[in-house]
Amino acid sequence: MSQDTFSAMIVEESADKQFVRRIGNRRISDLPEGDLLIRVHYSSLNFKDALSAIGNRGVTRNYPHTPGIDAAGEVVTCASGAFSPGEKVVVTGFDLGMNTAGGFGQYIRIPSEWAVRLPVGLTLRESMILGTAGFTAALSVWKLAGAGIKPEQGDILVTGATGGVGSVAVAILARAGYRVVAATGKSEEADFLKSLGAAEIISRSAVTEGVEKPVLKERWAGVVDAVGGGTLVAAIKATRYGGVVTCCGLVGSPDLAMNVFPFILRGVSLLGIDSVQCPMQPRLNVWEKLAGDWKPAKLEEIGRECSLADLDGKIDAILKGGIRGRTLVNLLKE
């Protein structure tokens, strides 16, 4: 392999409009324009990556393409001078891995405005165990706390609790002193969720029971929802007076079929969480929290490592809801 080539996952559209994935060689010189070239050490697998890898045009318009909305590594060159060679950086969000070649390759080239210096307190590996999912979870907790929801006000519900966002949210909330109720369809993962700090485990059906009613019995001081659809509707309807619900997922459904009673009778607030275009200052604030007092105590238990060669099967698994926690992609092994 020449100095200009590197290993990457390449998703291609075949003649019969099917999408195929392979590990192959790309050229640094073929990467998109940008002032910052990064040697990627680690990436991570997100649901959005899996959608890009199966040809979802809502995520990625043009193929061939290298997915990977997360990347952490070392600066090779920076034409703008914003970073120095050898500095460690983290990149999540913006257009990385969507229509810009992403972290499932050993090099990325991006605008320097997309990168964050690795915060003190995190390694590159740890930053990608967190990745977009962990950042989104922390942004959700940050919004809850910023809206005035305090631990003494009552239980916080986390839906989709064994997933990437959910598992990190459970751990962060527990570290921050909240009593966490984790909702999952995987009863066999109760011990895992308790090890992250969940005080109580409930089934998905326990959340959605009675969802057809105008409102439900008040249960939650706050909610971190990573599912959407009927689960989000039921969570909103069961939120206490003045409570706050954050929404960042649509795996259940992108639709929100409900009335306005929880909002106008109980003063419930619904806050949307977007990690893609999040402005830089709150982005830096949240990463500092993740590197500090919100850093999950058992971060390594949330992440499971794989290589590029193993990634294909992991993509199939995450699409079927078969991934627990986070999947860390090691690009150093290639």
Distance CA 285, CA 320 (A): 33
> What pLDDT is attached to residue 321?
85
> What pLDDT is attached to residue 29?
94
Fold of 5-118+299-330: Quinone Oxidoreductase; Chain A, domain 1 (3.90.180)
Residues of the chain under the 50 pLDDT cut: 1
> What pLDDT is attached to residue 2?
54
**Longest distance between any two alpha carbons in the chain, whole Å:** 66
Determine whether 42 is exposed, middle or buried from the number of CB atoms within 10 Å of its CB (0-12, 13-18, 19+): buried
Tens of pLDDT, residues 268-300: 999 999 999 999 999 999 999 999 999 998 898
Fold of 132-272: Rossmann fold (3.40.50)
Pinpoint the residues of the chain covered by CATH 3.90.180.10: 5-118+299-330
Tens of pLDDT, residues 16-47: 778 999 999 999 999 999 999 999 999 999 99
Query: What CA–CA distances, in Å, run from 176 to 142, 143, 146, 191, 197?
Result: 10, 13, 13, 20, 10
* Six token digits for residue 97: 């891995």
> What pLDDT is attached to residue 334?
61
Amino acid symbol at 318: I
H runs (alpha helix) in 176-238: 190-196, 204-208, 229-237
